[in-house]
Amino acid sequence: MAYENVLLEREDRVAILTINRPKALNALNNDTLLDIKSAVLEVKEDSGIDILIITGADKAFVAGADISFMQPLSAIEGRAFGALGQEVFRMIEAMEKPVIAAVNGFALGGGCELAMCCDFRIASTKAKFGQPEVGLGITPGFGGTQRLPRLVGTGMAKQMLYTADIIDATEALRVGLVNNVVEPEELMDFVKKIANRISKKAQVAVRLSKAAANEGMQTDIDRGMTIEADVFGLCFATADQKEGMSAFIEKRKPGFIGK
Protein backbone atom coordinates (compact mmCIF):
# COMPACT_ATOMS: atom_id res chain seq x y z
CA MET A 1 0.00 0.00 0.00
CA ALA A 2 1.28 3.50 -0.87
CA TYR A 3 1.24 6.26 1.74
CA GLU A 4 1.58 10.01 1.38
CA ASN A 5 3.77 10.72 4.42
CA VAL A 6 5.63 7.46 5.08
CA LEU A 7 7.43 4.79 3.11
CA LEU A 8 7.04 1.11 3.95
CA GLU A 9 9.60 -1.29 2.52
CA ARG A 10 10.44 -4.91 3.16
CA GLU A 11 13.75 -6.74 3.17
CA ASP A 12 13.25 -10.46 3.72
CA ARG A 13 11.40 -10.69 7.06
CA VAL A 14 12.22 -7.14 8.17
CA ALA A 15 9.99 -4.13 7.44
CA ILE A 16 11.38 -0.58 7.32
CA LEU A 17 9.00 2.30 8.01
CA THR A 18 10.44 5.70 7.04
CA ILE A 19 8.73 8.92 8.08
CA ASN A 20 8.90 10.85 4.81
CA ARG A 21 8.18 14.58 5.12
CA PRO A 22 11.75 15.83 4.66
CA LYS A 23 10.75 19.43 3.83
CA ALA A 24 9.10 19.59 7.27
CA LEU A 25 11.90 17.59 8.93
CA ASN A 26 9.37 14.73 9.14
CA ALA A 27 7.21 16.64 11.62
CA LEU A 28 4.05 14.86 12.73
CA ASN A 29 0.64 16.17 11.79
CA ASN A 30 -2.69 14.38 11.90
CA ASP A 31 -2.31 12.81 8.44
CA THR A 32 1.21 11.56 9.18
CA LEU A 33 0.07 9.90 12.41
CA LEU A 34 -2.75 8.19 10.51
CA ASP A 35 -0.27 6.98 7.86
CA ILE A 36 2.00 5.58 10.59
CA LYS A 37 -0.99 3.84 12.16
CA SER A 38 -2.03 2.23 8.86
CA ALA A 39 1.52 1.15 8.02
CA VAL A 40 2.06 -0.38 11.46
CA LEU A 41 -1.23 -2.27 11.16
CA GLU A 42 -0.05 -3.57 7.80
CA VAL A 43 3.16 -4.84 9.41
CA LYS A 44 1.26 -6.29 12.36
CA GLU A 45 -1.02 -8.32 10.11
CA ASP A 46 1.69 -9.58 7.73
CA SER A 47 2.81 -13.03 8.91
CA GLY A 48 5.87 -12.75 6.68
CA ILE A 49 7.33 -9.89 8.74
CA ASP A 50 9.09 -10.51 12.05
CA ILE A 51 10.67 -7.14 12.88
CA LEU A 52 9.88 -3.47 12.22
CA ILE A 53 12.52 -0.74 11.93
CA ILE A 54 11.36 2.89 12.16
CA THR A 55 13.55 5.69 10.81
CA GLY A 56 13.29 9.11 9.16
CA ALA A 57 14.02 10.47 5.71
CA ASP A 58 16.98 12.78 5.07
CA LYS A 59 18.55 14.51 8.11
CA ALA A 60 15.77 14.09 10.67
CA PHE A 61 14.17 11.15 12.45
CA VAL A 62 11.17 13.26 13.44
CA ALA A 63 11.82 16.87 14.44
CA GLY A 64 8.62 16.98 16.50
CA ALA A 65 4.92 17.50 16.07
CA ASP A 66 4.06 19.98 13.32
CA ILE A 67 3.87 23.36 15.08
CA SER A 68 2.06 25.06 12.19
CA PHE A 69 -0.60 22.35 12.49
CA MET A 70 -0.85 22.66 16.28
CA GLN A 71 -0.75 26.44 16.69
CA PRO A 72 -4.44 27.18 15.95
CA LEU A 73 -5.87 24.17 17.82
CA SER A 74 -8.41 24.68 20.58
CA ALA A 75 -8.09 22.87 23.92
CA ILE A 76 -10.50 20.18 22.72
CA GLU A 77 -8.70 19.81 19.38
CA GLY A 78 -5.32 19.74 21.13
CA ARG A 79 -6.43 16.95 23.41
CA ALA A 80 -7.75 14.97 20.42
CA PHE A 81 -4.42 15.39 18.61
CA GLY A 82 -2.54 14.22 21.70
CA ALA A 83 -4.89 11.26 22.09
CA LEU A 84 -4.26 10.21 18.48
CA GLY A 85 -0.50 10.35 18.98
CA GLN A 86 -0.79 8.36 22.19
CA GLU A 87 -2.98 5.76 20.47
CA VAL A 88 -0.57 5.27 17.57
CA PHE A 89 2.55 5.14 19.73
CA ARG A 90 0.93 2.78 22.24
CA MET A 91 -0.02 0.50 19.34
CA ILE A 92 3.64 0.41 18.29
CA GLU A 93 4.75 -0.28 21.87
CA ALA A 94 2.21 -3.05 22.38
CA MET A 95 2.64 -4.75 18.99
CA GLU A 96 3.84 -8.31 19.54
CA LYS A 97 6.61 -7.94 16.94
CA PRO A 98 9.83 -6.18 18.01
CA VAL A 99 10.25 -2.58 16.85
CA ILE A 100 13.65 -0.86 16.59
CA ALA A 101 14.16 2.89 16.18
CA ALA A 102 17.04 3.82 13.88
CA VAL A 103 17.47 7.45 14.93
CA ASN A 104 19.30 9.17 12.10
CA GLY A 105 18.92 12.81 13.16
CA PHE A 106 16.63 15.12 15.11
CA ALA A 107 14.32 13.22 17.48
CA LEU A 108 12.62 16.07 19.29
CA GLY A 109 9.22 16.29 20.95
CA GLY A 110 6.99 13.83 19.13
CA GLY A 111 10.08 12.37 17.48
CA CYS A 112 11.65 11.53 20.83
CA GLU A 113 8.30 10.10 21.89
CA LEU A 114 8.13 7.97 18.73
CA ALA A 115 11.63 6.63 19.39
CA MET A 116 10.75 5.87 23.01
CA CYS A 117 7.72 3.74 22.14
CA CYS A 118 9.99 1.40 20.17
CA ASP A 119 11.58 -1.55 21.97
CA PHE A 120 15.02 0.02 21.78
CA ARG A 121 16.89 2.76 19.98
CA ILE A 122 20.10 2.86 17.93
CA ALA A 123 21.38 6.36 17.19
CA SER A 124 23.57 7.99 14.59
CA THR A 125 26.29 10.30 15.89
CA LYS A 126 24.21 13.09 14.35
CA ALA A 127 21.10 12.28 16.39
CA LYS A 128 19.67 14.82 18.82
CA PHE A 129 17.06 14.09 21.47
CA GLY A 130 14.81 16.26 23.59
CA GLN A 131 11.37 17.23 24.80
CA PRO A 132 11.30 20.97 24.02
CA GLU A 133 7.57 21.44 24.56
CA VAL A 134 7.68 23.73 27.59
CA GLY A 135 9.49 26.27 25.43
CA LEU A 136 6.37 26.34 23.26
CA GLY A 137 3.94 26.67 26.15
CA ILE A 138 2.78 23.04 26.10
CA THR A 139 3.65 19.71 27.69
CA PRO A 140 4.68 16.55 25.84
CA GLY A 141 1.48 14.97 24.57
CA PHE A 142 2.40 11.65 22.96
CA GLY A 143 3.70 9.84 26.05
CA GLY A 144 6.90 11.75 26.80
CA THR A 145 6.10 12.49 30.44
CA GLN A 146 5.49 8.78 31.04
CA ARG A 147 8.10 6.94 28.97
CA LEU A 148 11.08 9.23 29.54
CA PRO A 149 11.18 8.67 33.36
CA ARG A 150 10.86 4.92 32.78
CA LEU A 151 13.86 4.96 30.44
CA VAL A 152 16.31 7.44 31.97
CA GLY A 153 15.09 7.76 35.56
CA THR A 154 12.89 10.36 37.19
CA GLY A 155 15.55 12.97 37.91
CA MET A 156 17.10 13.06 34.45
CA ALA A 157 13.68 12.96 32.81
CA LYS A 158 12.40 15.90 34.86
CA GLN A 159 15.51 17.91 34.06
CA MET A 160 14.96 17.29 30.33
CA LEU A 161 11.24 18.02 30.58
CA TYR A 162 11.58 21.21 32.63
CA THR A 163 14.55 22.74 30.77
CA ALA A 164 13.60 21.65 27.22
CA ASP A 165 17.33 20.92 26.76
CA ILE A 166 18.42 18.98 23.69
CA ILE A 167 21.03 16.26 24.20
CA ASP A 168 23.34 14.66 21.66
CA ALA A 169 23.75 10.97 20.94
CA THR A 170 26.68 10.56 23.34
CA GLU A 171 24.66 11.94 26.24
CA ALA A 172 21.63 9.87 25.18
CA LEU A 173 23.84 6.77 25.40
CA ARG A 174 25.18 7.82 28.81
CA VAL A 175 21.70 8.24 30.33
CA GLY A 176 20.34 5.03 28.79
CA LEU A 177 18.03 6.52 26.19
CA VAL A 178 19.81 4.67 23.36
CA ASN A 179 21.62 1.33 23.21
CA ASN A 180 24.33 2.14 20.67
CA VAL A 181 25.75 5.10 18.75
CA VAL A 182 27.22 4.54 15.28
CA GLU A 183 28.40 6.65 12.37
CA PRO A 184 25.59 7.89 10.08
CA GLU A 185 26.66 5.79 7.12
CA GLU A 186 26.68 2.65 9.29
CA LEU A 187 23.32 3.17 11.02
CA MET A 188 20.92 1.21 8.83
CA ASP A 189 23.31 -1.69 8.25
CA PHE A 190 23.94 -1.89 12.00
CA VAL A 191 20.22 -1.93 12.81
CA LYS A 192 19.42 -4.39 10.02
CA LYS A 193 22.04 -6.80 11.37
CA ILE A 194 20.39 -6.70 14.80
CA ALA A 195 16.95 -7.18 13.21
CA ASN A 196 18.19 -10.16 11.20
CA ARG A 197 19.73 -11.74 14.31
CA ILE A 198 16.39 -11.43 16.07
CA SER A 199 14.56 -12.81 13.04
CA LYS A 200 16.65 -15.99 13.15
CA LYS A 201 15.49 -16.78 16.69
CA ALA A 202 12.28 -18.53 17.75
CA GLN A 203 9.66 -15.86 17.07
CA VAL A 204 7.05 -17.17 19.53
CA ALA A 205 9.66 -16.93 22.27
CA VAL A 206 10.80 -13.47 21.13
CA ARG A 207 7.24 -12.16 21.18
CA LEU A 208 6.44 -13.76 24.53
CA SER A 209 9.63 -12.19 25.94
CA LYS A 210 8.45 -8.78 24.73
CA ALA A 211 4.98 -9.32 26.21
CA ALA A 212 6.39 -10.43 29.56
CA ALA A 213 8.84 -7.52 29.75
CA ASN A 214 6.20 -4.94 28.81
CA GLU A 215 3.57 -6.26 31.21
CA GLY A 216 6.03 -6.90 34.01
CA MET A 217 7.27 -3.30 33.93
CA GLN A 218 3.77 -2.15 34.87
CA THR A 219 3.42 -4.32 37.97
CA ASP A 220 5.26 -5.52 41.09
CA ILE A 221 8.04 -8.13 41.01
CA ASP A 222 5.88 -10.98 42.33
CA ARG A 223 3.21 -10.48 39.68
CA GLY A 224 6.01 -10.11 37.15
CA MET A 225 7.43 -13.49 38.11
CA THR A 226 4.01 -15.06 37.59
CA ILE A 227 3.82 -13.50 34.13
CA GLU A 228 7.25 -14.92 33.33
CA ALA A 229 6.31 -18.38 34.62
CA ASP A 230 3.22 -18.37 32.43
CA VAL A 231 5.03 -17.48 29.21
CA PHE A 232 7.91 -19.84 30.05
CA GLY A 233 5.39 -22.67 30.34
CA LEU A 234 3.69 -21.70 27.08
CA CYS A 235 6.98 -22.10 25.23
CA PHE A 236 6.96 -25.83 25.97
CA ALA A 237 3.80 -26.18 23.88
CA THR A 238 5.60 -24.91 20.76
CA ALA A 239 7.35 -26.72 17.91
CA ASP A 240 10.15 -24.16 18.16
CA GLN A 241 11.00 -25.26 21.71
CA LYS A 242 11.29 -28.88 20.59
CA GLU A 243 13.39 -27.89 17.59
CA GLY A 244 15.61 -25.47 19.51
CA MET A 245 16.50 -27.91 22.24
CA SER A 246 16.89 -30.82 19.84
CA ALA A 247 19.24 -28.74 17.70
CA PHE A 248 21.30 -27.81 20.77
CA ILE A 249 21.65 -31.45 21.84
CA GLU A 250 22.45 -32.54 18.27
CA LYS A 251 24.96 -29.68 17.83
CA ARG A 252 23.30 -28.19 14.74
CA LYS A 253 21.61 -24.92 13.82
CA PRO A 254 17.88 -24.87 14.61
CA GLY A 255 15.25 -24.46 11.92
CA PHE A 256 12.54 -22.47 13.63
CA ILE A 257 9.10 -22.21 12.04
CA GLY A 258 7.48 -19.64 14.34
CA LYS A 259 5.02 -22.08 15.89
The residues that are catalytic are 113, 133
Q: What is the rounded CA–CA span in Å between residue 235 and residue 89?
A: 28
**What's the half-sphere exposure (Cβ side, CA atoms, 13 Å) at 21?**
21
- Can you tell me the distance from the alpha carbon of 195 to that of 200, in angstroms, rounded to the nearest whole number? 9
DSSP string, 149-203: HHHH-HHHHHHHHHH--EEEHHHHHHTTS-SEEE-GGGHHHHHHHHHHHHHTS-H
Give residue 252's region: left, alpha or beta (phi > 0; psi -120 to 50).
beta
Distance CA 212, CA 64 (A): 30
Phi-psi region of 120 (alpha: psi -120 to 50; beta: other; left: phi over 0): beta
Terminal Cα-to-Cα distance of the chain (whole angstroms): 28
